[in-house]
Amino acid sequence: MTFNGYPRFTLMAITQPEADLIMHGSRRLQSFVLHVHSS
């Protein structure tokens, strides 16, 4: 199983603050991409 292209063991290896940063960053990236494509 992969999550946003990362192997599951990679997610398990990082700490929770880093996971939150990655999730926040990926959401910002997705919203940015959607904004660019919709304009």
- Cβ neighbours of 1 (radius 10 Å): 5
Model pLDDT, residue 4: 62
Residue 12 identity: M
Q: Where are the domains of the chain?
A: 15-39
Q: Which residues pair with 7 in a beta bridge?
A: 2
CB-based contact 13:6 (threshold 8 Å): no
pTM: 0.42
22 is written with which tokens?
């990655």
Each residue's pLDDT expressed in tens, for the chain with a length of 39 residues: 445 665 555 556 677 788 888 888 889 989 998 888 887
User: With helix as H, strand as E and coil as C, how does the chain read?
Assistant: CEECCEEHHHHHHCCHHHHHHHHHHHHHHHHHHHHHHHC
